[in-house]
Chain A
Amino acid sequence: MNITLTFHAHQPNRLIPYDFFKIGEHAFYEDDELNGRVLSAVAERCYLPANRLMQQLIELSDGKFRFALALSGVILEQAKYHRPDLIDSFARLAETGAVEFLAMPYYASLASLYAPSEFEEQVQEHVQLIEQLFGCRPTVLWNTGMLYDNAIAAQVCDMGFEGIMADGNSRMMSNRHTNDLQCAPLIDKTKTLIRNRHLSNDLANRRVDPTWSEYPLSPYTFADWLTRQEGQVVNLSMDYETLGERQPDTTGVFEFWRTMITAAVFNGNTFLTPGEAVRKFPSTGTLDCPNPVSCSTYGTTTQWNGNVMQQEAIKKIYDLEASVKASHDSDMIHVWRKLQSADHFHYMEKSNGFTPYPSPFDAYIYYMNALADLQVRVKREAEMNKAFDSKNLA
């Protein structure tokens, strides 16, 4: 069987408790100290040991093991600032030639849903960053939370990508064949790789769930499951943080992966990167997905835009697009884009337990206050520019 494996890594820019009194006065919204501390801890427990393991597996298999990384621009930016050794570690993986880096919206934003041209700009910014850091140009796109629908696929085709990844969600897609490449309606240049949701979640979630019928899962069993899959290619994808963070070292996660990958190679399976897969296989048909799907629990977008606080925050940040861009101030545009990260809206979800804030209401208040500050700055700069222009004309 042909297998692609894609790991996604991202760390949010958590905000400081940004209260009303800071508006207009305090231009830095992020809790740099906290963000650096979390990145560092996760790097030690997960990213660095996982990179070492992947590098060993590539070397031991003589390049038969290949995989892909979808690293957000935000995490790479944090790493440049707080943990440059993490960038070096990813760069060493790039040098093996067995790792493909996927394109993403740089800021892990929802721009594909709310501001298509902004989406394209963020993807381009990310592509440039990947080229600069790792010397290779992405050909497959991994959207924030694997957000996907017909319109996004069409836009990604226009942007020249050969492939896009989508989560295999039976409720949202008709005519889906998980292990075959398909194309969105009226699209033929960009193939959709469908994540095998079931097998991916076996590794990401169920492996450590004692109530699961297959618990404890043997790596050999899982390798056999892979070998017996039918179709063109089975696409496994999950958060990189599965290795060592969500599943701590004590669960034997690194040992499991080492054995599982080795067994899969030994069984005669072929590992491909997503880019190699879309070039190797033809599309087998049309996949219709009119509404956005994501790889979240429910497969929808409700974790980002399900309540009124989220809806308002999203509307207000994208309302700023024209005036922020009119400033031609790259720092301000960068700040605005960082506020687009989907995490900010996820923290406003009422049932979200993974949050740095006391409550979703606090998340909303801090965010809206920071947004208000940005509004004030945008307005101020617009007035300054206007005054400057009129002086020049005079």
Chain B
Amino acid sequence: MEDRRIKVLELGWEFPPLINGGLGVACMGISKALAKKVDLAVIVPKAAPDASYDGFTLRGVNTLSYGELQTTEAQPYTYESCAMVSKAPINLDPYASTEGTPGTVTFTQEGKLLFSKVHHADLDLFTGKEDLYAGDLARKVIEFSKICAIMARKYDFDLVHAHDWMTYLAGVEVKRATGKPLVVHLHASQFDRAGADARGWIYDIEKYGMEQADAVIPVSKYTGTVAAGHYGIDPSKIFPVHNGADPVRVFHSKKKFPEKLVLFLGRLTAQKGPEFFLQIAAKVLEQTDNVRFVMAGTGEKLRQLIETGAFHGVGDKFHFTGFLNKAKVNELLSMTDVYCMPSVSEPFGLSALEAAQFNIPAVISKQSGVAEVMKGALKADFWDVNMMAKHIVDLITDDELYKRVAEQSAQDIKNSNWDTAAEKMLRVYHHVLGW
């Protein structure tokens, strides 16, 4: 074992303060904790111009000049990954359950692009105001991988660590260009977003990235079984590492109404199981009217859910808030009695941990990573609305049980921090490097 800090090149897609969802938050948590143990440099497509970070460097492709990419021109290297891809959907939303309509991405010279083919226009992809996930995402992913492969040659590092499918191509290209081992992190897969039958460009890249990687880090054992079972990845190179949760300022406020409050928090997409939450609410309300439900968040299913709620006749006890900012979410958490996460497939489920920080007992689906961490939470299969409803009724009617579950949750979250996660990642690095 070499007696020095490992040097890691991390490839991310979104990074605070420029974030769309949970991925950026997780990457930040990982980077901050890892930086205490390794020498860390991060490359992302877009960095905020005035952002600075303790312990690691962050470079945004949007801050590169064209000239910086020309310096390695002399060394011949053929971009390879795109040879695999001749057609790609041009509108891809990584948080949506369906991919966009297929358009065509055209490549020159039998799919082989040279470094010299990075054009001004390619860099412009990342400097504009356009959302990272908007427009021609497929081209952004491909250009990012080309540019990373060039940039990587200027970094001194021992291994490359790529987060989610948007950076997997880049990770593979960096590995090819430098010969350094590749670790890919699986925060969420197309299996979670679109179900067991999902196939397509994103699925292919996920599979390709994990196959080419020397180690795969899923955010839970549950997601590890998805990688092995659904993507056919060799289980011996899968090393699950649970996410941590950043401590939040916890406060409690008094509800303005007498009923208990049960909260669902998340995007209203099939993956999160919002329809099941509605059915659970209807079941609970059959047994007690001393309860209100809140569905916080927005998404493609919002309108459909509103009508389904009306159909179930629960509209006076089931409230939709639409999108809420962090302050409003915390206000809601501060008055919530029970947190419910009936996700159909949840790689991790950070929000349940955040709820636990507010001392809120959780009722969660077994198809979630966080279920492995939260031993005290009440669990059921996502489709078992009767069991979910029973858990909620038990919690709001049995004070003893409520106290017990809340106390166990407090224990559970003690070990859920990013330092513990980084320690485990370090062990994976050592394994990969053979140190």
Contacts and interface: CB of A to CB of B under 8 A. Distances in A.
A365 to B, nearest CB: 6
A309 B307 contact: yes
B317 A372 contact: yes
Contacts of B313: 312, 315-316
Greatest chain A CB density within 10 A among B256, B310, B313 is at B310
Contacts of A371: 316
Given A24-B255, A24-B257, A375 B316 contact: yes
A361 B306 contact: yes
A309 B312 CA distance: 10
B340 to A, nearest CB: 16
A376 B307 contact: no
A37 interface: no
Chain A contact residues, majority secondary structure: helix
Nearest to A309: B310
Greatest chain A CB density within 10 A among B311, B316, B321 is at B316
Contacts of B328: 21
A262 B324 CA distance: 61
A309 B320 CA distance: 14
A167 B294 CA distance: 43
A364 B306 contact: yes
A23 B316 CA distance: 11
Greatest chain B CB density within 10 A among A364, A368, A379 is at A368
Chain B contact residues, majority secondary structure: mixed
B258 A379 contact: yes
Contacts of A153: none
B331 interface: yes
A371 B316 CA distance: 7
A323 interface: no
A307 to B, nearest CB: 7
Contacts of B315: 309, 312-313, 316, 364, 368
Given A308-B310, A361-B306, A364-B310, A376 B319 contact: no
B257 A376 contact: yes
Contacts of A20: 294, 319-321
Give the bracket for the number of chain B residues in contact with chain A: 20 to 34
B242 interface: no
B161 interface: no
Contacts of A364: 306, 310, 315
Contacts of A372: 257, 292, 316-317, 319
A316 B307 contact: no
Nearest to B254: A24
B310 to A, nearest CB: 4
Interface in B300-332: 302-303, 306-307, 310-311, 313, 315-317, 319-321, 328, 331
Nearest to B313: A312
Given A316-B315, A375-B316, A361 B321 contact: no
Nearest to A348: B310
A308 B319 contact: no
Greatest chain A CB density within 10 A among B256, B258, B321 is at B256
Contacts of A308: 307, 310-311
A19 B311 CA distance: 21
Contact of B256 (A25, A309, A368): A25
Given A19-B321, A309-B315, A376 B258 contact: yes
Contacts of A19: 321
Greatest chain A CB density within 10 A among B257, B292, B294, B331 is at B257
B337 to A, nearest CB: 15
Nearest to B314: A312
Interface in A360-387: 361, 364-365, 368-369, 371-372, 375-376, 379-380
Interface in B201-258: 255-258
Interface in A4-24: 19-21, 23-24
Nearest to B318: A368
Interface string A20-35: 1101110000000000
A23 B318 CA distance: 12
Contact of B316 (A25, A307, A316, A361): A316
Nearest to B261: A20
B317 A365 contact: no
B307 A365 contact: no
Contacts of A307: 307, 310
B319 A312 contact: no
A23 B310 CA distance: 19
A369 B306 contact: no
B350 to A, nearest CB: 23
Contacts of B307: 307-309
B313 to A, nearest CB: 6
Interface in A100-129: none
A311 B307 CA distance: 11
A327 B271 CA distance: 45
B253 to A, nearest CB: 11
Contacts of B256: 23-25, 376
Given A23-B257, A376-B258, A309 B317 contact: no
A371 B318 CA distance: 12
Interface string B184-206: 00000000000000000000000
Nearest to B308: A308
Nearest to A24: B256
A19 B331 CA distance: 14
Contacts of A311: 310
A313 B144 CA distance: 51
A159 B292 CA distance: 41
10 contacts: A21-B328, A307-B307, A307-B310, A308-B310, A308-B311, A309-B307, A312-B315, A313-B315, A361-B303, A372-B316
Interface of A: 19-21, 23-25, 307-309, 311-313, 315-316, 361, 364-365, 368-369, 371-372, 375-376, 379-380
Nearest 4 A/B pairs, CB to CB: A24-B256, A24-B257, A312-B310, A308-B310
Interface of B: 255-258, 292, 294, 302-303, 306-307, 310-311, 313, 315-317, 319-321, 328, 331
Given A309-B307, A316-B313, A364-B315, 6 more contacts: A24-B256, A25-B256, A364-B306, A364-B310, A372-B319, A376-B257
